[in-house]
C-alpha cells in the first residue's frame, strides 16, 4: 500500500505534513505511518471520556485553596494563659490557627505540585531531580450548609507529597506519612455550620523522602468532600470482586461496610444490583443490618451471574455493582465497575488470563510528566496510558507506590493488567495501615493481578525480612484471597532465609542470568521479571556523547545491572516459565538522572521521553509486543547535513517476516526479520527518502519512512486530540515542531519557541531533554531534537482554543481546537477568604455596665466563659450586662490601613470598644447587624452587651474583620 493520504493539519500554517493521519478514534497508530513527527502523535478524534462516578456523595474540592511556600513556625507559648489554651482542642497556633493571616497567600487550584515550578539547584537532591521541595502550607475556608447538620462529612485527599499534618478548625485530624496513599478524614465531629466557617489547614513537609525519584510537593491529587447520610457506606466499604466457582458458574460476592453516626439505633436496608455494560439491571439482591449509634456493620450478599462477558486486555468489558442503602436519615450509593476474569500464575507456563496464556509485556511507571510534575490531570493520565497501548504494552507495574485513583479506573477501562505496589516495607501498624489501604482501595479493579509488598529490600535475604513479608502477605490475603503476592527481589535468591519462600510469585529485578537456576531449584514457584532493562536513550540522539550527557538511541547503552531493550526482552521471551517483563521504564521521569549527575535532571530509561515522544525503544517494543498488526520502524532519522557519503548504521525493527531497506527508490538490502534484536543495515548517507518495507508472504504489510528535511521555515502545532471538553479540566498535549518548505518535520531543529493561548490555560511545557533547565511553566520552550510539548487545559463552556506559536526566523503556527460544551464536574463552592473573630471570652453578668477594660485575671480559665458567636446567653434575671473580649485577628492590610468589624447580628444593646475607645454603639435591643470602624494597628476588641429583660443576648452569625470598601 502507498504511503497514504497527505493531509492538511489544522493550524499548520497552511503547510502539508509529510505524514499519514490515522483516523480511527483513539486507536493505535497505523502500521504504515512513516516515522517522524507524527509517529504515534497524530491527532485523534474523539473526546476524553469522563471517569465513572463511583461515589455520588463526593464533590471535588479543587478550588479556593490558598498556598504559602515555606514553613511558618508560631512562637512557642510563654504565658500561662497561652500555654493553657495551646493545649486545648481547636486552639492550634500559627498557620494552623483558624484566624491566621492568609490574606497574602497565593490562590491555587488542585492538583498542585509546587516543586514542578522550582528552578534546578545543584546542591539539591540529585535523585529528586535537583528541585528544592521544602515545606509548604495550604488553607481552605469551607462553608457548610446548616442542612448538612447530622450528615457524615468526609474529606478525601488522593495523596499528599509527602509528610502532612492536617488541622480542621484548629484541631489536628491527621498526621500522614505516605506521599502515595489516600487520606480520609471524618470531618463530622469538628464541623461548624452556616456562617460559622470551617478552616482546613495543612502543613506539607516535602523534604521527607520516600523514594529515589522525583516525588513532587503538595496536594498533587484530587481532593473531595463527601456528604453522606448518617447511616452510610464506609469509604472503601464495598468489596465486590467476581469469582468463578468450581462448578463453572460466576458470582459476585458483595460485602458492604456500613457506618452510623446517628444518635439512635437504626436499620439499614441494602440493595445490590448488577448492571451490564449497557446499564441494564441483570440481577438484584437485598440485605439488612442493625447499626448501633457510632457503630459499624457488614452486610454480605452474593449475586449469581450467568455467562458474563469476560474482561480482557483486548476487550475490557466492565459491569457495575450498584449498592444502594436506605436508612433513617437518608440513602447512600456506590457504583463500582467490575470485570469478570480469571487469573493464574503457573510455575512452568507463566500467566493466564481467562485461561489464555498472556505474556506480560510490561513497563514500570513513575507518575510524573513534563510540565506538571506529579500533578497529572486525569485526561493527561489517559493520554499517557494510550501511549503505552500504542507501544504494545499490556501490563504495568505501579512502581514503587500506589498511583492516582483515576489511573486504576483507566487501566480497567483501557485493558491493562497491573502489579500494584506497596511503598514502605514495614509490617509495623502505621505501615501495615498503608498496605491495608492499598488493598481495600484497589481490590475491586479487574486490572490488578498481583500485589507487590516491596521493591529491592536489603533485608530480602534475612530471617527478619522473611518474617516481615510473611506478615504483610498474610494481611494482603486476609483482605483479598484472589490475587497472589510478590516481592521485587534483586538478589539473595539462594540465601538460606530469603523472602522468595513466602511470596506466591517470585519477582526478579534484573539478574536475568538467574532465571534458570532459580527455576530449577524452585520448580513449583511461579516467576516473573518484576523489573528489567534499565537501558539509556536520549530521544532523537543517535550517538552517545558522555561529555554532553547524551545517550545514543540505537539501543546499545544500558546500566551495568540492566540490559538493552532488545537483550532484556530476549531473555524473557524465550522462557515460557517467566510470566513476562516490566521494562524500567515506560516514560522518562524527573530525577534519577543515572548514569549522570548535574546538570542532568531527568532519567534516560524511558521507552518514551518525559513528554511521551517516542525513542527508538518505541519501535523496538512495538515489534516485540504487537501481534495483530504489522509494524516496522527504522532508526535513525534521515537528516544529516555534512555526512554525505559517510556510512550510517540503521536499525530496522518489525514483526513481519522480512524487511527491505530502500534509499531513494534503490533497494539497499533485505533480510529475514529478527523480531527481537532487529535488523542492522549500513548505508552511505545520501539525502532523500529512506524507507523500510515489511513483508509477509512476499507482500508488503507495513512501511516506515524518513525524508531528509531542508532548512526549517515554519512552526507547526499538532494537538493530540482535535477537540477538548469545555469542563475546565480536560487537557490536550500539543506537539510543537518545525517544518521545512515542503512541510517536512525537521528532526535537528533546536530553536526557542514561544506561545500565546486563548480559551485554555497553559499548565506546563517540556521538550524531553534531560539536560534542560528551562522553566516547565513559562509560555516558551526550545525545541529539542525537533520537538517540544505544551499542555493546555480547557476553559469552561463551548468555544475555541487558539494557540499561536512563534520563533525567530520562522513562520508562526496557529492552531484552533474546538472546545466542546460539557458540564464541569461539581465543585465545592469557593468561600471568599476572610478573617473572623471566632473565640471570645464572656464575663459573668452584671446589674450595671462593667468597665470595658475589665478582663479575667491571668491564669483564671474559669470565671469567664470561652464562647463563640451563636452561643447567646440568657434570659438574665436582673443582671443584664455582659462584657465580651477578643483579640483582633491580624490581617496585613487591616493592620496597615484600618478596617471594619462587621457583626452579622447582635441581640441586645451594644457598645463596641477597640483598644479601650468606643467605636460603635447599638441602641436598640432588637437583633440587628452592626459595623464598627477600627483604626490601623488595632489589637483588642471589647463589647458590652445589654440584654432586653427576659431575652437572650449576644452574637449570632459571623464577626468578620476586613479592609474598608
Spatial separation of the C-alpha atoms in residues 140 and 65, rounded to whole Å: 5
Q: Would you say 336 or 568 has its CB closer to ligand GAL?
A: 568
Residue 534 as a binder of ligand GAL (CB under 6 A): the answer is yes
CB of 831 to ligand GAL, least distance (A): 42
Q: Would you say 116 or 490 has its CB closer to ligand GAL?
A: 490
Spatial separation of the C-alpha atoms in residues 440 and 445, rounded to whole Å: 10
Q: Would you say 592 or 727 has its CB closer to ligand GAL?
A: 592
Q: Would you say 534 or 880 has its CB closer to ligand GAL?
A: 534
Cell numbers placing 764: 506546563
CB of 829 to ligand GAL, least distance (A): 42
Which listed residue (81, 273, 456, 657) binds ligand GAL by CB under 6 A?
A: 456
CB of 455 to ligand GAL, least distance (A): 5
Residue 447 as a binder of ligand GAL (CB under 6 A): the answer is no
Beta bridge partners of 333: 324
CB of 344 to ligand GAL, least distance (A): 26
Cell numbers placing 404: 492516582
Residue 604 as a binder of ligand GAL (CB under 6 A): the answer is no
CB of 566 to ligand GAL, least distance (A): 17
Q: Would you say 48 or 605 has its CB closer to ligand GAL?
A: 605
Q: Would you say 212 or 640 has its CB closer to ligand GAL?
A: 212
Residue 368 as a binder of ligand GAL (CB under 6 A): the answer is no
CB of 178 to ligand GAL, least distance (A): 17
* Sign of the CA dihedral running 892, 896, 900, 901: positive
Report how far apart, in Å, the C-alpha atoms of 2 and of each of 59, 365, 665 are.
52, 37, 13
CB of 462 to ligand GAL, least distance (A): 19
Query: Scanning residues 717 to 736, which ones bind ligand GAL (CB under 6 A)?
Result: none
Residue bearing cell 480559551: 759
Q: Would you say 510 or 618 has its CB closer to ligand GAL?
A: 510
Query: Scanning residues 823 to 852, which ones bind ligand GAL (CB under 6 A)?
Result: none
Spatial separation of the C-alpha atoms in residues 616 and 620, rounded to whole Å: 6
Taking residues 541 to 570 in sequence order and writing x for each that binds ligand GAL by CB under 6 A, - otherwise, the string is ------------------x--x--------
Which listed residue (12, 455, 528, 735) binds ligand GAL by CB under 6 A?
A: 455
Beta bridge partners of 817: 801
Spatial separation of the C-alpha atoms in residues 229 and 314, rounded to whole Å: 40
Residue 509 as a binder of ligand GAL (CB under 6 A): the answer is yes
Q: Would you say 43 or 373 has its CB closer to ligand GAL?
A: 373
Spatial separation of the C-alpha atoms in residues 693 and 668, rounded to whole Å: 11
Spatial separation of the C-alpha atoms in residues 803 and 109, rounded to whole Å: 22
CB of 618 to ligand GAL, least distance (A): 19
Spatial separation of the C-alpha atoms in residues 914 and 920, rounded to whole Å: 9
Q: How many residues bind ligand GAL (CB under 6 A)?
A: 12
Cell numbers placing 398: 505501579
Q: How many residues does the chain have?
A: 965
Cell numbers placing 498: 530469603
Taking residues 208 to 237 in sequence order and writing x for each that binds ligand GAL by CB under 6 A, - otherwise, the string is ----x-------------------------
CB of 350 to ligand GAL, least distance (A): 22
Q: Would you say 320 or 538 has its CB closer to ligand GAL?
A: 538
**197 closest CA partner among 834, 859, 873:** 834
For 643-693, the DSSP string reads -TTSEEEEEEEESSSEEEEEETTEEEEEEE--TTT-EEEEEE--SSEEEEE
Residue 588 as a binder of ligand GAL (CB under 6 A): the answer is no
Which listed residue (113, 531, 729, 946) binds ligand GAL by CB under 6 A?
A: 531
Cβ 915 vs Cβ 926: under 8 Å: no
Taking residues 636 to 675 in sequence order and writing x for each that binds ligand GAL by CB under 6 A, - otherwise, the string is ----------------------------------------
Spatial separation of the C-alpha atoms in residues 513 and 414, rounded to whole Å: 34
Q: What is the CA radius of gyration of the chain?
A: 32
Q: Is 857 helix (H, G, I), strand (E, B) or coil?
A: coil
CB of 564 to ligand GAL, least distance (A): 13
Q: Is the peptide bond before 147 cis (omega within 30 degrees of 0)?
A: no
Residue 584 as a binder of ligand GAL (CB under 6 A): the answer is yes
Residue 178 as a binder of ligand GAL (CB under 6 A): the answer is no
Residue 454 as a binder of ligand GAL (CB under 6 A): the answer is no
Q: Judging by beta carbons within 10 Å of its beta carbon (0-12, 13-18, 19+), is residue 451 exposed, middle or buried?
A: buried
CB of 531 to ligand GAL, least distance (A): 5
CB of 491 to ligand GAL, least distance (A): 10
Residue nearest to ligand GAL (CB): 534
CB of 533 to ligand GAL, least distance (A): 8
**295 closest CA partner among 317, 263, 248:** 263
Beta bridge partners of 761: 793
Residue 312 as a binder of ligand GAL (CB under 6 A): the answer is no
Taking the alpha carbons at both ends of the chain, their separation in whole angstroms is 72
Q: Would you say 201 or 490 has its CB closer to ligand GAL?
A: 490
**609 closest CA partner among 362, 371, 803:** 371
Q: Would you say 245 or 560 has its CB closer to ligand GAL?
A: 560
CB of 619 to ligand GAL, least distance (A): 22
Spatial separation of the C-alpha atoms in residues 156 and 303, rounded to whole Å: 30
Q: Would you say 316 or 562 has its CB closer to ligand GAL?
A: 562
Cβ 197 vs Cβ 142: under 8 Å: yes
Residue 600 as a binder of ligand GAL (CB under 6 A): the answer is no
**732 closest CA partner among 781, 784, 800, 782:** 800
Cell numbers placing 210: 520516600
Chain residues binding ligand GAL by CB under 6 A are 212, 455-456, 490, 509, 531, 534, 559, 562, 584, 592, 594
Amino acid at each position: 500500500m502507498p504511503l497514504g493520504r497527505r493531509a492538511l493539519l489544522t493550524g499548520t500554517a497552511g503547510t502539508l505534513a509529510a505524514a499519514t493521519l490515522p483516523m480511527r478514534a483513539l486507536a493505535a497508530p497505523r502500521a504504515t505511518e512513516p516515522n517522524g513527527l507524527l509517529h504515534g502523535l497524530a491527532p485523534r478524534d474523539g473526546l476524553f471520556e469522563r471517569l465513572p462516578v463511583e461515589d455520588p456523595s463526593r464533590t471535588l474540592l479543587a478550588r479556593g485553596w490558598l498556598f504559602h511556600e515555606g514553613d511558618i513556625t508560631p512562637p512557642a507559648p510563654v504565658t500561662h494563659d497561652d500555654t493553657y489554651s495551646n493545649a486545648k482542642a481547636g486552639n492550634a497556633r500559627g498557620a494552623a490557627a483558624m484566624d491566621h493571616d492568609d490574606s497574602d497567600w497565593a490562590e491555587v487550584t488542585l492538583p498542585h505540585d509546587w516543586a514542578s515550578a522550582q528552578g534546578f539547584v545543584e546542591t539539591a537532591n540529585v535523585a529528586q531531580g535537583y528541585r528544592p521541595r521544602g515545606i509548604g502550607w495550604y488553607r481552605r475556608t469551607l462553608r457548610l450548609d446548616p442542612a448538612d447538620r447530622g450528615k457524615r462529612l468526609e474529606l478525601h485527599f488522593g495523596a499528599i507529597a509527602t509528610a502532612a499534618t492536617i488541622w480542621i478548625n484548629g484541631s489536628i485530624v491527621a498526621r500522614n506519612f505516605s506521599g502515595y496513599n489516600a487520606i480520609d478524614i471524618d470531618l463530622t465531629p469538628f464541623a461548624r455550620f452556616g456562617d460559622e466557617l470551617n478552616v482546613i489547614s495543612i502543613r506539607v513537609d516535602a523534604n521527607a523522602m520516600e523514594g529515589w525519584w522525583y516525588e513532587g510537593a503538595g496536594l498533587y491529587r484530587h481532593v473531595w468532600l463527601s456528604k453522606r447520610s448518617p447511616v452510610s457506606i464506609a469509604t472503601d466499604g464495598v468489596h465486590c470482586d467476581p469469582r468463578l466457582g468450581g462448578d463453572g458458574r460466576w458470582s459476585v460476592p458483595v460485602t458492604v461496610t456500613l457506618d452510623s453516626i446517628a444518635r439512635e439505633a437504626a436499620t439499614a436496608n441494602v440493595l445490590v444490583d448488577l448492571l451490564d455494560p449497557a446499564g441494564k439491571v441483570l440481577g438484584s439482591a437485598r440485605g439488612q443490618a442493625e447499626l448501633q449509634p457510632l457503630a459499624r456493620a457488614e452486610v454480605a450478599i452474593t449475586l449469581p451471574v450467568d455467562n458474563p462477558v469476560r474482561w480482557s486486555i483486548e476487550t475490557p468489558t466492565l459491569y457495575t455493582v450498584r449498592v444502594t442503602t436506605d436508612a433513617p436519615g437518608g440513602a447512600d450509593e456506590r457504583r463500582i465497575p467490575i470485570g469478570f476474569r480469571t487469573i493464574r500464575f503457573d510455575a512452568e507456563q507463566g500467566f493466564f488470563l481467562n485461561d489464555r496464556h498472556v505474556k506480560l509485556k510490561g513497563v514500570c511507571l513513575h507518575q510524573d510528566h513534563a510540565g506538571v510534575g506529579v500533578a497529572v490531570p486525569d485526561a493527561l493520565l489517559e493520554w499517557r496510558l494510550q501511549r503505552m497501548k500504542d507501544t504494545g504494552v499490556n501490563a504495568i507495574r505501579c512502581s514503587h507506590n500506589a498511583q492516582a485513583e483515576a489511573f486504576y479506573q483507566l487501566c480497567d477501562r483501557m485493558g491493562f493488567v497491573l502489579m500494584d505496589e506497596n511503598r514502605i516495607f514495614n509490617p509495623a501498624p502505621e505501615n501495615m495501615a498503608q498496605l491495608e489501604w492499598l488493598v481495600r482501595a484497589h481490590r475491586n479493579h479487574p486490572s490488578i493481578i498481583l500485589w507487590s509488598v516491596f521493591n529491592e529490600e536489603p533485608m530480602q535475604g534475612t530471617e527478619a525480612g522473611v518474617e516481615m513479608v510473611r506478615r504483610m502477605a498474610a494481611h494482603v490475603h486476609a483482605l483479598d484471597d484472589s490475587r497472589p503476592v510478590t516481592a521485587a527481589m534483586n538478589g539473595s535468591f539462594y540465601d538460606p532465609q530469603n523472602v522468595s519462600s513466602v511470596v506466591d510469585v517470585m519477582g526478579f529485578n534484573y539478574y536475568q542470568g538467574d532465571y534458570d537456576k532459580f527455576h530449577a531449584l524452585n520448580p513449583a514457584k511461579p516467576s516473573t521479571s518484576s523489573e528489567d532493562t534499565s537501558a539509556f536513550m536520549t530521544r532523537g540522539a543517535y550517538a552517545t556523547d558522555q561529555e554532553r550527557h547524551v545517550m545514543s538511541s540505537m539501543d546499545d547503552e544500558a546500566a551495568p545491572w540492566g540490559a538493552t531493550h532488545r537483550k532484556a526482552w530476549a531473555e524473557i521471551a524465550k522462557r515460557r516459565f517467566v510470566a513476562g517483563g516490566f521494562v524500567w521504564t515506560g516514560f522518562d521521569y524527573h530525577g534519577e538522572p543515572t548514569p549522570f549527575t548535574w546538570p542532568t535532571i531527568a532519567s534516560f530509561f524511558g521507552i518514551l521521553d518525559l513528554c511521551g515522544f517516542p525513542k527508538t525503544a518505541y519501535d523496538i517494543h512495538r515489534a516485540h509486543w504487537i501481534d495483530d498488526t504489522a509494524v516496522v520502524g527504522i532508526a535513525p532519522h534521515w537528516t544529516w547535513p555534512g555526512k554525505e557519503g559517510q556510512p550510517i548504521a540503521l536499525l530496522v525493527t518489525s514483526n513481519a517476516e522480512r524487511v527491505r531497506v530502500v534509499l531513494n527508490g534503490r533497494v539497499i538490502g533485505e533480510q529475514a526479520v529478527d523480531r527481537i534484536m532487529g535488523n542492522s543495515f549500513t548505508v552511505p548517507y545520501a539525502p532523500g527518502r529512506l524507507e523500510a518495507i515489511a513483508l509477509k508472504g512476499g507482500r508488503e504489510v507495513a512501511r516506515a519512512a524518513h525524508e531528509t528535511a531542508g532548512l526549517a521555515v515554519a512552526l507547526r502545532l499538532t494537538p493530540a486530540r482535535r477537540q477538548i471538553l469545555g469542563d475546565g479540566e480536560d487537557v490536550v498535549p500539543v506537539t510543537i515542531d518545525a517544518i521545512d518548505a515542503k512541510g517536512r518535520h525537521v528532526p535537528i531543529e533546536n530553536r526557542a519557541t514561544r506561545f500565546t493561548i486563548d480559551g485554555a490555560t497553559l499548565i506546563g511545557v517540556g521538550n524531553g531533554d534531560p539536560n534542560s533547565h528551562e522553566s516547565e511553566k513559562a509560555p516558551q520552550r526550545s525545541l529539542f531534537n525537533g520537538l517540544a510539548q505544551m499542555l493546555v487545559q480547557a476553559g469552561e463552556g463551548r468555544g475555541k482554543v487558539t494557540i499561536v506559536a512563534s520563533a525567530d526566523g520562522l513562520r508562526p503556527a496557529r492552531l484552533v481546537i474546538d472546545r466542546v460544551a460539557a458540564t464541569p464536574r461539581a465543585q465545592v463552592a469557593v468561600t471568599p477568604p476572610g478573617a473572623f473573630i471566632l473565640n471570645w471570652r464572656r464575663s459573668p453578668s452584671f446589674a450595671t455596665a462593667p468597665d470595658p477594660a475589665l478582663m479575667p485575671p491571668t491564669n483564671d480559665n474559669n470565671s469567664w466563659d470561652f464562647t463563640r458567636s451563636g452561643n447567646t446567653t440568657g434570659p438574665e434575671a436582673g443582671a443584664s450586662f455582659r462584657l465580651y473580649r477578643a483579640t483582633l485577628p491580624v490581617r496585613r492590610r487591616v493592620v496597615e490601613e484600618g478596617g471594619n468589624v462587621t457583626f452579622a447580628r447582635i441581640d441586645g444593646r451594644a457598645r463596641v470598644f477597640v483598644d479601650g475607645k468606643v467605636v460603635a454603639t447599638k441602641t436598640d435591643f432588637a437583633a440587628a447587624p452592626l459595623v464598627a470602624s477600627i483604626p490601623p494597628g488595632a489589637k483588642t476588641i471589647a463589647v458590652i452587651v445589654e440584654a432586653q429583660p427576659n431575652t437572650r443576648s449576644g452574637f449570632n452569625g459571623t464577626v468578620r474583620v476586613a479592609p474598608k470598601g
